[in-house]
Each structure stands twice: as structure tokens, then as C-alpha cells.
Structure 1
């Protein structure tokens, strides 16, 4: 598991992110009210900034290459590839 912190609506959260779980699922399992809608990588409601270790998205119909290079991810499609630690933030 990778130690992960989240900044959301002025609150800071901390949780462990299992390697085989999407970022969104891990946040929801930890009781974090992470924004989401379709959970299929189609709507962009779960877009966040992810910094730290390597990760990959299983599906992405929303973000362009520039967004991805700027550490933007769809939480519903992102799985980690390293031990972290990771930092997640939301821009709204």
C-alpha cells in the first residue's frame, strides 16, 4: 500500500492506496467524499492532480497529452505503479 494524502474542499485526508485499486475506489473506501460521476473515464468529474510516484490510467476519453504531462489524472481510472508517497489535489 502507498501512503496518499488528499486536499479536497479545504480539508486534508490521508489513506493507504492498494496497488490493485483505482485512486477513486481507494478514496471512497477511506470515506473521502471524492467527486465522481460515470466511473468510466468519460465525464471528467473525477479529474485531479496526482503527484508522487508513477501511475497509469486504464481509460481516458477526457484528458489530452498536455493535461497528463501536467500531472492531471482521472481518479476513477488511475492505478499506482510505485510505492509513493502520493499527493492528490482538486482544483475547484
Structure 2
């Protein structure tokens, strides 16, 4: 019987320790708030990155257009030289 009582006492001690490690409702709410804020920050960072990618793509397209126009100008100058 003493063995059983010792086992019950040990189980109660372990159970009490486990409950002490459980966060309170306030702690859970604070964790939820922090997670929500971090997810919002991550969402904004993704949106900013997407915006930057869009701007980079537009700049590259503009650069390609400028290169094309320079080539056309070069061709036009060569044609003009051969006409005179």
C-alpha cells in the first residue's frame, strides 16, 4: 500500500508541475496578439516585396524599350548617312 501511495503522490506532483507549466488565459491572449502582429508585419513585407518586384519589372521593361529605341535611332542615322 505504501508503494501505491508513493505512486499516487508522485503522479499528483507531476500533474501539478504540468499544470504550472500551462500558460494562463492572459498569457495565451498576449501570445495570440504577438502572433497576429507578426503575421501582419509579414504580410506587409510580402506586399512591399511584391511592389518592389513589380517596380523592378517595370524598370527592366523600360530599360528594354530604351535599348530598342537607341537601336532604332542608330539604324535611322545609318540610313540617313547612306541617303546623302
TM-score by length of 2: 0.13
The structure richer in strand per residue is 1
Q: Radius of gyration: which is bigger?
A: 2
- Which is helix-richer, 1 or 2? 2
Q: TM-score, normalised by structure 1?
A: 0.13
Q: Highest relative contact order (Cα 8 Å, sep 6+), 1 or 2?
A: 1
